[in-house]
Structure 1
Amino acid sequence: MCGRYQFVPNENDEIKRIYELARKDAPDIKTGEVFPSNTTAIILVDEQKKVQVTGMKWGFPGFKSSQLIINARSETVNEKKMFSSDFQATRCVFPTTGFFEWTKEKSKHLFTLTMQPVYICGLYKEFKDGTRSVILTTDSNESVTPIHNRMPILIEESDIKDYLTNTDFANEYIKRKMPKLEVRKA
């Protein structure tokens, strides 16, 4: 599961650039610790398949009025009615500086990659109140397993455009083994 992540523009030049681009479209981009329902920076492609950065709320409306759906399991994303057509047509990427997971004892840990942004796969959908996004998750790897059994699907910057524009590539990508991460108590 990925219930929160970090977006700190001053920690990385690329994240700072993404933040500035997203603020042009959505001046209320959340920085620091990003929570579900916050407006966050998102990478997607327009109709001409050109990569764009925008702001978007994190979380689909749930089945109850107070519920938010923030993650989609990669193993079932193509089967679930709520996600399948959007995964095929409207994928996105969450640019971050790391993501958080908690132990059963409520100890918070930050997962990062050495000296680079952490890009997370997702998808988005248009609702009555605007466009919203969710994060794709998978079984955790050896870095995350001691803390949690799920983790977001991470993507390398060089694969982002293919993930966003090529459905076959995206379907194969979400099955990949996730990279080793650095972890520290937050």
Structure 2
Amino acid sequence: MCGRFAITLPPDAMAQLFKAVPGNDLPAVPNYNVCPTNRVHAVLGVEGQRRLSAMRWGFLPHWYKTTNGGPLLINARAETIAEKPAFKAACRERRCLIPVSGFYEWTKDAEDNRLPWYIQPAEDGPMVFAGVWQDWERDGEAYRTCAIVTCAANEQMAAIHHRMPVILAPEDWGKWLGEEGKGAANLMVPAPEDALRVHRVGVAVNSNRASGPELIEPID
């Protein structure tokens, strides 16, 4: 799964990287502790043009009567995304790219303490998650919402958690966005073993109120 991440790339650099038109309400960066229900950056295709937009992390199906009208859907499982009522239309029609600098995952020690790890690209630069999105509006509230697509972990990640985000290579961004015909389903696979590097970080990030670059600093 993916329940917390960091993003440090400035919006103008994101817009240039994805050849996208930036929105005027993008979240502030850097943010070293992006949490569910926060606003995140996402790239989607609109009338043949890529747009960098702000979305609420936590997919809201159209039948939710309130923002907490059902489970908080921050992740969508690759294995079932095409059949689940919440996601199947978005999987066909509303896919997006979610750029991040790295993400967090947790293990537990013998005393059941949560031990955080930071996972980032093996090479410098951002990583890009596969996402799906949905517009939601009810009683004067309106949100553009998203979820991160996850798959079974590769061998490296499996030592920490049995799931991981679907990470898209640059050559696959257009296919995921539907710009290059069919084949997006074939992209929902674990990242190559050499694509990531992992290190332990301090327990400060266990709090969703924590902030600052020290959250991603390695510890022994």
Q: TM-score range by the shorter chain?
A: 0.7 to 0.9
Counterparts of 1:173-184 in structure 2 under 5 Å?
173-174=187-188, 176-180=189-193, 181-184=196-199
Contact 1:41 1:95 survives alignment (8 Å): yes
Identity %: 28
Counterparts of 1:147-166 in structure 2 under 5 Å?
147-165=160-178, 166=180
Go from structure 1 to structure 2 and tell me whether the alpha carbon gap of 1:66 and 1:169 turns closer, same or farther (over 3 Å shift). Answer: closer
Structure-2 residue corresponding to 1:116: 125
Aligned counterparts of 1:155 and 1:69: Cα–Cα separation in 2: 21
Residue 72 of structure 1 pairs with residue 84 of structure 2: no
Q: Give the unaligned 5+ runs of structure 2.
A: 202-220
Contact 1:120 1:153 survives alignment (8 Å): yes
Deviations 1:6-59 (A, max 9, x none): 10126xx944857xx7874314446222111111110111122x2221111110
Aligned counterparts of 1:117 and 1:45: Cα–Cα separation in 2: 20
Residue 54 of structure 1 pairs with residue 53 of structure 2: yes
Contact 1:8 1:15 survives alignment (8 Å): no
Match of 2:183 among 169, 173, 178: 169
Aligned counterparts of 1:185 and 1:25: Cα–Cα separation in 2: 36
| Secondary structure, aligned partner of 2:53 | strand
Structure-2 residue corresponding to 1:134: 147
The CA RMSD measured in Å over matched residues stands at 2.5
Structure-2 residue corresponding to 1:37: 37
TM-score (normalizing by structure 2): 0.74
Counterparts of 1:7-22 in structure 2 under 5 Å?
7-9=7-9, 14-15=13-14
| Secondary structure, aligned partner of 1:88 | helix
Aligned counterparts of 1:68 and 1:141: Cα–Cα separation in 2: 25
Contact 1:23 1:55 survives alignment (8 Å): no
TM-score (normalizing by structure 1): 0.86
Aligned counterparts of 1:66 and 1:82: Cα–Cα separation in 2: 11
Output the amino acid matched with 1:74. Answer: A
Aligned counterparts of 1:144 and 1:22: Cα–Cα separation in 2: 34
- Quick check: which has more Rg, 1 or 2? 2
Aligned counterparts of 1:22 and 1:67: Cα–Cα separation in 2: 32
Residue correspondences, number: 181
Contact 1:3 1:35 survives alignment (8 Å): yes
Q: Give the unaligned 5+ runs of structure 1.
A: none
Deviations 1:78-105 (A, max 9, x none): 0101000111000001100011111134
